[in-house]
């Protein structure tokens, strides 16, 4: 019999994630790819590959979340990202608290209750400021790959103030700074500071219940985590696979664990 008890799909705006769990809620397989224009076809392919790898049949329930969740034909159910991230992180860290989820095109602050359910939340999906896209878009100007952004920002000698939170205006500021010969790493540090400022104002609106927890792809960026901890004067904890937490939570909601 297959060890897979449930599969979670997170069809995000930037990346597609799949997580399979066993009956104890442990992750037994996963997939992550940049989102393609036809997400329903992409997910069909990714799901078939994961089932093949794990020798799993179609009997395990498939729960979908993410902005493309309603397009997933194989899904037995679809659930919001708020619920799934809360559930995934609660299970991974074993704690309630204030969860900050920063994805490619939106960011959310979620109060996770003692039962792993969201108690309150705030979401920014109208503007790229405070999202992965803000960093990627502006950093592309500096030719720095996304997985090096945080390290470069943290090791910068100084910090250039980026006053615009808007991506378009921030990009103009960067162009001027580059033209004036500013140090690229100090520009990156300023960019991270700007993103964190935006996120922290959402956190203050929702209120902090410690610990602060982080999920989403941008949680993989060490500078974001460090600067959030500094700005809030609080410890920030994150699960081992922060980018998979939406799909993990979806899988947990479909399984017995």
Task: Name the residues that contact ligand ADP, by CB under 6 A.
Answer: 12-15, 66, 103-105, 132-133, 135-136, 146-147, 149-150, 216-218, 220-221, 243
Residue with smaller CB distance to ligand ADP, 93 or 214: 214
Q: How far apart are CA 196 and CA 226, in angstroms?
A: 10
Nearest approach in angstroms of CB 44 to ligand ADP is 18
Residue 100's closest CA among 82, 113, 115?
Answer: 82
CB of 140 to ligand ADP, least distance (A): 11
Query: Is the Cβ of residue 149 or residue 213 nearer to ligand ADP in the bound state?
Result: 149
Residue with tokens 């990627």: 136
CB contact burial 212-245 (16+ within 10 A = b; e otherwise): bbbbbbbbbbebbbbbbbebbebebbbbebbbbb
Q: Which is nearer to ligand ADP, 12 or 184 (CB)?
A: 12
What distance in Å separates the CA atoms of residue 15 and residue 88, rounded to the nearest whole number? 17
Query: Smallest gap, in angstroms, from Cβ of residue 190 to ligand ADP?
Result: 17
Gap between the Cα atoms of 209 and 203, Å rounded: 10
Q: How far is the CB of 30 from ligand ADP (least distance, A)?
A: 12
Cβ closest to ligand ADP, residue 22 vs residue 239: 239
């Amino acid at each position: 019999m297959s060890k897979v008890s449930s599969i979670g799909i997170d069809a995000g705006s930037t990346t597609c994630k799949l997580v399979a769990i066993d009956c104890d809620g442990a992750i037994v397989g996963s997939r992550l790819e940049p989102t393609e224009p036809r997400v329903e076809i992409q997910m069909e392919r990714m799901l078939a590959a994961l089932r093949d790898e794990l020798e799993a049949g179609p009997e395990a329930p498939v729960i979908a979340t993410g902005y493309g969740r309603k397009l997933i034909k194989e899904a037995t159910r679809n659930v919001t990202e708020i619920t799934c991230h809360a559930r995934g992180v609660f299970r991974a860290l074993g704690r309630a608290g204030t969860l900050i989820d920063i994805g490619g095109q939106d960011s959310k602050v979620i109060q996770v209750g003692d039962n792993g359910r969201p108690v309150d939340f705030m979401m920014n999906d109208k503007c790229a400021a405070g999202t992965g896209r803000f960093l990627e878009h502006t950093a592309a100007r500096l030719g720095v790959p996304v997985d090096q952004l945080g390290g470069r920002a943290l090791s910068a000698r100084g910090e250039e103030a980026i006053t615009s939170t808007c991506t378009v205006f921030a990009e103009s500021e960067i162009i001027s700074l580059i033209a004036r010969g500013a140090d690229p790493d100090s520009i990156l540090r300023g960019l991270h500071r700007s993103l964190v400022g935006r996120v922290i104002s959402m956190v203050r609106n929702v209120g902090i219940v410690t610990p602060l927890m982080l999920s989403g792809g941008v949680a993989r960026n060490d500078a974001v985590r460090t600067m959030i901890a500094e700005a809030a004067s609080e410890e920030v904890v994150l699960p081992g696979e922060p980018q998979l937490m939406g799909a993990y939570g979806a899988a947990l909601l479909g399984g017995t664990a």
